[in-house]
């Protein structure tokens, strides 16, 4: 018998090889990763695992606890409903949040950020607070579902505050040639495009150079969101590809399996 998922987020800290229910420590986040779980299934969980462990290796070297925590976390996320677990490494150790996923937005409005707050753009975690503030400012201005677009010091597009940026120029799929977080969802889309024989381009581009393109923001939580308007920016194309590509991503979800040996023990 499967129980109904709890209504509220649950939080845990890693202790003695398992997770204990506990309040989170308000320390700076050194490494983080999060993903979407839909009725127990995840898109490209192995890619999320590799990205998180690479960040942990960069910070502390030993990844054994982080690897075990990722496995045990699977047993703490309900197998019914939509969930957005997030695993953090802080100076105090590993901590897990099991959160209901927020409501989906199937398109977005964007605004170019006035500055780039990122200090560790290649590692998810250290910049989440600064990017979160950037995002809140945009939502206050444009409403829920809007997102900030970060540009580098040369004014070239890099990524959204919490999403990767992709766009279509004709039949070519384009990505920014700028320092940005390695996106799991963008990597899956790129693999699908490569399999289809789609031309892939990595370009240095200012926002105005995306005029007339079909522009996407993509991330694990919301998949593909086409940009329907860019405030004080380029006029983007009406999306024609996003729905079909989102369906392809959904078809690639697989169960987040937890082996019997790794099931969390009561503590």
Spatial CA neighbour of 241 closest among 176, 152, 172: 172
Rounded average pLDDT over 55-73: 97
Model pLDDT, residue 5: 43
Rounded average pLDDT over 134-144: 93
Quickly state the pLDDT bin for 103 (edges 50, 70, 90): confident
Global pTM value: 0.92
* CA 166 to chain CA mean position, Å: 14
In whole angstroms, give the CA distance from residue 77 to residue 60: 26
Instruction: Give the CATH class of 108-252.
Output: alpha beta
Number of H helices, E strands in the chain: 5, 17
The percent of residues in the chain predicted with pLDDT above 90, rounded, is 88
Model pLDDT, residue 240: 97
In whole angstroms, give the CA distance from residue 264 to residue 260: 9
Rounded average pLDDT over 129-157: 95
Name the least confident of 194-198, 209-213, 253-257: 253-257
Average pLDDT over the chain, rounded to whole? 93
Domains 10-101 and 108-252 share a fold: no
Domain ranges within the chain, ordered by starting residue = 10-101, 108-252
Rounded average pLDDT over 26-31: 96
Model pLDDT, residue 258: 53
Model pLDDT, residue 223: 97
Rounded to the nearest 10 degrees, what angle do helices 184-196 and 242-251 cross at?
100
Model pLDDT, residue 259: 45
Quickly state the pLDDT bin for 257 (edges 50, 70, 90): confident
Model pLDDT, residue 77: 95
Residue 134, CA atoms < 13 Å, CB-side half-sphere: 23
Model pLDDT, residue 9: 78
- Those residues whose C-beta lies under 8 Å from the C-beta of residue 110, and which sit 6 or more positions away, are 138, 146, 147, 148, 149, 160, 215, 217, 227, 229, 230, 231, 233
Model pLDDT, residue 8: 61
Quickly state the pLDDT bin for 180 (edges 50, 70, 90): very high
| Fold of the 10-101 domain | D-amino Acid Aminotransferase; Chain A, domain 1 (3.30.470)
In whole angstroms, give the CA distance from residue 128 to residue 118: 9
């Amino acid at each position: 018998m499967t129980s109904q998922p709890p209504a509220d987020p649950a939080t845990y800290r890693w202790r003695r090889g398992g997770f204990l229910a506990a309040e989170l420590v308000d320390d700076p986040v050194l490494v983080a990763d999060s993903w979407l779980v839909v009725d127990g299934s995840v898109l490209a969980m192995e890619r999320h695992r590799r990205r998180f462990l690479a960040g942990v290796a960069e910070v502390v070297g030993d990844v054994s606890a982080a690897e075990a925590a990722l496995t045990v976390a699977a047993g703490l996320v309900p197998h019914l409903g939509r969930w957005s677990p997030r695993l953090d490494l802080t100076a105090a150790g590993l901590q897990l949040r099991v959160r209901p996923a927020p409501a989906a937005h199937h398109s977005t409005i964007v605004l170019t950020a006035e500055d780039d707050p990122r200090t560790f753009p290649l590692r998810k975690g250290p910049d989440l607070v600064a990017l979160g503030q950037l995002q809140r400012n945009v939502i206050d201005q444009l409403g829920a579902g809007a997102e900030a677009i970060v540009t580098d010091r040369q004014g070239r597009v890099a990524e959204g505050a919490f999403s990767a940026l992709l766009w279509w120029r004709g039949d070519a799929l384009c990505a920014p040639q700028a320092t940005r977080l390695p996106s799991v969802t963008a990597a899956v889309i790129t693999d699908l495009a490569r399999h289809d024989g789609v031309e892939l381009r990595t370009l240095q581009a200012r926002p105005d150079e995306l005029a007339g393109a079909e522009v996407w923001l993509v991330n694990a939580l919301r998949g593909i969101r086409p940009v329907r308007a860019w405030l004080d920016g380029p006029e983007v194309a009406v999306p024609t590809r996003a729905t079909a590509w989102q369906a392809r991503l959904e078809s690639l979800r697989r169960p987040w399996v937890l082996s019997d040996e790794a099931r969390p023990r009561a503590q």
